[in-house]
Amino acid sequence: MTATVFRKGLNLKHAVAGTLADDYHSELIEQIKNSDFIWQDGRLIVHLAQEFGFCYGVDRAVDYAYQTCVRFPESRVFLTGEIIHNPKVNTRLRDAGVSFLSDSGQSVEHLTKSDVVILPAFGVTIELLEQLDRRGCTLIDTTCGSVLNVWKNVKRYTEDGFTAVIHGKVHHEETRATASQALLAKDGHYLVILDRKEAELLCDFICDRIGIDQFENTFREACSPGFVPSRDLKRVGLANQTTMLMSESLEIGELIRDAMVDRYGHNVLSEHYRAFETICSATQDRQDAITTLLNTQQFDLAIVIGGYNSSNTRNLARICADSLPTFHIADADCLVSENEIRHRPANKRNQEGPDNSSEVISRNWLPSAGAVSVAVTAGASTPDSIVGDAISRLSTFANS
Ligand code: SF4
């Protein structure tokens, strides 16, 4: 590397702590946490999941971004794209003077040695890292340790001659970065599968139940350059985007493992299939916490707060949508009135296919009389301030 890289912050944690607290802390959330995660106001009873909101990786990435602005006040500071999937946090960084290379008119080619570039929590592709290195700018690498752990496993698979099969979203920044790691090994390959349906198709190909055309119709855009399915699916290692639904990842692992047993026999399974659980503990904790909460009692509805492009928030909404009316909202502004809510519809867990619906408006979302019991959670990129504002607004409408 010719670029100077900071991977452990800039020693300015204390200098930004106050600003971070001003921007993202919530008194109401502190109060709810101190009341065993339950809060009642008039006819509204909110039950907050015991694990929700900012994860350790996001906390660290946002902290480093703020430190960068303090440390390099005279430099141009860039982000490669969104630092995390939360529009308000990204807007706050724009307001602090950070530019986004993903915006039109910006380009890596225009960077100079005196520029500073922040790499987001979900990492960047090898290709982009090499481009940035060639420009010689200073890099603030906030890639989360849990993402680095996935990369380590993907590299190991491909160095050992296994194709990395990644359960993830092919256009998600983290999955693109993870897939690029597979290309570091000589003849390394990857295939990205979205869900159980695609895993079944992959298994059908492995077991000779479908031909190459059907395989390519689905996976043409989801595999590495020069991918030859008959050659590159003989030995596969499974990894996950860190924010996928754990239950689905486990099912997919079982399916592929069984397909390899069918195709090659149990005795040589280790020569054809490897797996390493790479969903991060923060994602897992948030999924477990909302599942536990929903098992404790009946709720009238669930509110799930987070960016619409946040994979882990969408999966929390899927868990809730299985059993009750669920509204995935970006922030408090989505609660338009006691009769109207803007939200992104949540697929149920067993609903397959692309999960790309856009925001809709629903009416009569809040029961109009009697006690209202609401389960609340938030994705790993949602700060307490946004959760607190949403609960506060919910209370206003419930008690108006
Ligand atoms: S969701 Fe997990 S992998 Fe992603 S930043 Fe948070 S802790 Fe890291």
Q: What is the pLDDT of residues 5-30, one digit of tens each?
A: 999 999 999 999 999 999 999 999 99
- The pLDDT value recorded for residue 283 is 92
- What lies within 8 Å, CB to CB, of 307 at 6+ separation is 84, 85, 86, 87, 313, 330, 379, 381, 382
Answer yes or no: is pLDDT of 242 > 90.
Answer: yes
Share of the chain above pLDDT 70, in %: 98
127 is known as an active-site residue: no
Residues of the chain with CATH 3.40.50.11270: 5-11+56-144
Instruction: Report DSSP state, residue 208.
Output: T
The alpha helices in 25-163, defined as continuous H runs, are 27-34, 56-71, 87-95, 126-135, 145-159
What mean pLDDT do residues 306-324 have? 94
Where in the chain do CATH 3.40.1010.20 domains reside? 35-55+282-398
pLDDT of residue 329: 97
Q: Is the CB of 242 under 6 A from ligand 1?
A: yes
Catalytic residue among 51, 82, 173, 174: 174
Tell me, which fold does domain 35-55+282-398 have in CATH? Answer: Cobalt-precorrin-4 Transmethylase; domain 1 (3.40.1010)
pLDDT score, position 197: 95
pLDDT at 322 (0 to 100): 94
Q: How many angstroms separate the CA atoms of 47 and 249, rounded?
A: 28
For residue 353, pLDDT over 60 is answered with no
Is pLDDT above 90 for 107? no
Mean predicted confidence (pLDDT) in 293-322: 95
Q: Would you say residue 102 has pLDDT above 90?
A: no
Query: If pLDDT is split at 50, 70 and 90, which confidence band does 367 have?
Result: very high
Candidate CATH numbers 3.40.50.11270, 3.30.930.10, 3.90.45.10, 3.40.50.740; the one for domain 5-11+56-144: 3.40.50.11270
3-state helix, strand, coil split of the chain in percent (to 5) is 45, 15, 40
Residue of the nearest CA to atom 8 in ligand 1? 57
Higher pLDDT, 199 or 350: 199
Measured from the Cβ of residue 302, the count of other Cβ atoms closer than 10 Å reads 26
- Mutate which of 51, 52, 56, 169 for ligand 1? The one with the most ligand atoms within 8 Å of its CB, which is 56
Least confident of 57-66, 99-108, 266-275: 99-108
Residue 352's Cβ-count burial label (10 Å; 0-12, 13-18, 19+) is middle
Percent of the chain with pLDDT over 90: 90
Determine the average pLDDT of the residues in 93-105.
90
Tell me: pLDDT of 234 over 90: yes
Q: What is the pLDDT of residue 104?
A: 75
**Residues, the chain:** 400
User: How would residue 348 be classed by pLDDT, with cut points 50, 70 and 90?
Assistant: confident
381 Cα–ligand 1 center, Å: 9
Q: How many helices (H) and strands (E) in the chain?
A: 15, 16
The per-residue pLDDT for 303 is 98
CA of 343 to the centre of ligand 1 (A): 24
248's tokens = 């689905």
Q: 62 in ligand 1 pocket by Cβ < 6 Å?
A: no
pTM for the whole thing?
0.92
- pLDDT for the residue 350: 67
150 touches ligand 1 (CB under 6 Å): no
Q: How close is the Cα of 56 to the center of ligand 1, in Å? A: 7
Lowest mean pLDDT among 22-31, 66-75, 117-126, 351-360: 351-360
Which residue, by CA, sits nearest to atom 2 of ligand 1?
A: 280
- Please indicate whether residue 282, judged by its CB atom, sits closer than 6 Å to ligand 1: yes
In this prediction, residue 2 carries a pLDDT of 75
